[in-house]
Amino acid sequence: MKLSIIIPCYNEESTLKKLLEHLFKVQFPIEREIIVIDDGSARNHKEFIKEEINSNKISFIRLPQNQGKGFAIRVGLKYASGDVFINQDADFEYIPSDIPKLLNPILKNKANVVYGTRFATRPKFMSKSHYLANIVLTKIANFIYHTNLTDMETGYKLFTKKVLSKIKLNARQFEFDPEITSKIILSGFKIHEIPIQYKYRDFSDSKINWLDGVECLFILLQQRFCPKSNLYQFIYEIFKYHFKKIILKLTKFIAKFVYMRRV
């Protein structure tokens, strides 16, 4: 049995090498492979990890332009040769030494899907807004899908080849998390949760904004109630590729205007 660890990265030169060094120190109970997907970063991340690539410690794929986290993970899954898969964020918020613990229920044939939950206790230093957004989205997912999850948006999602063969992923960006969660549940698989460590990255460095949360809600509703609706898909794409950018620019302008008025 083999574990495929997929690392999508976009402008993560400050943490990627350190993450890989940590991964190499972890003792895995099965064979593992590491696949790094450079999602069109400003600087080719091959420059920072040449030694790891040349020594065949990792596989490296460079996308010509930024496509989004979901797309990068999907590319990684196509290249992966494992029996079990996990995504590892390159920003090092998630600690690789937790992966063997997440792998354990699968090796014991007790689960096909394992999520690492950050919310067994509240993560230190996580902003109230980020914490609340995660909790609200998870509770909505529980209500819609009749589940009892604590952390739908976790970056540690471990699943087997059997699960992957039953679902088709289309996500391009951060909608990856609600899409894979909803499709896993609808395919009849139970999600097993295990507490993990978590180092919260400063919110000012985050690539996620509040509109990504709205988009997650779109996906949860779509997959549950109208997965084949062309009209819903049209509305969703109008929001994602047009309204979302306009609203984000407008909120930034308003925030700047309010700040200037106060000053």
Residue 113 DSSP label = E
Inter-CA distances, 222 with 3, 177, 214, 247, Å: 31, 14, 12, 21
Query: Per-residue pLDDT averaged across 179-208, rounded?
Result: 86
DSSP 55-100: TTSSEEEEESS---HHHHHHHHHHH---SEEEE--TTS-S-GGGHH
Residue 206 reports pLDDT greater than 70: no
| pLDDT, averaged across the chain | 91
Q: Distance between CA 151 and CA 212 in Å, rounded?
A: 16
Q: Is the pLDDT of residue 204 over 90?
A: no
Please tell me the predicted confidence (pLDDT) of residue 203.
Answer: 47
Segment 219-239 mean pLDDT: 92
Residue 240 has a pLDDT of: 87
**pTM recorded for the entire structure:** 0.89
What domains are there in the chain, each with its CATH number? 2-227 (3.90.550.10)
Q: Which two tokens stand for residue 20?
A: 């890989």
Q: CA-to-CA distance for 51 and 113, rounded, in angstroms?
A: 33
Share of the chain above pLDDT 70, in %: 94
- For the segment 10-67, what is each residue's pLDDT rounded down to a tens digit? 999 999 999 999 999 999 999 999 999 999 999 999 999 999 999 999 999 999 999 9
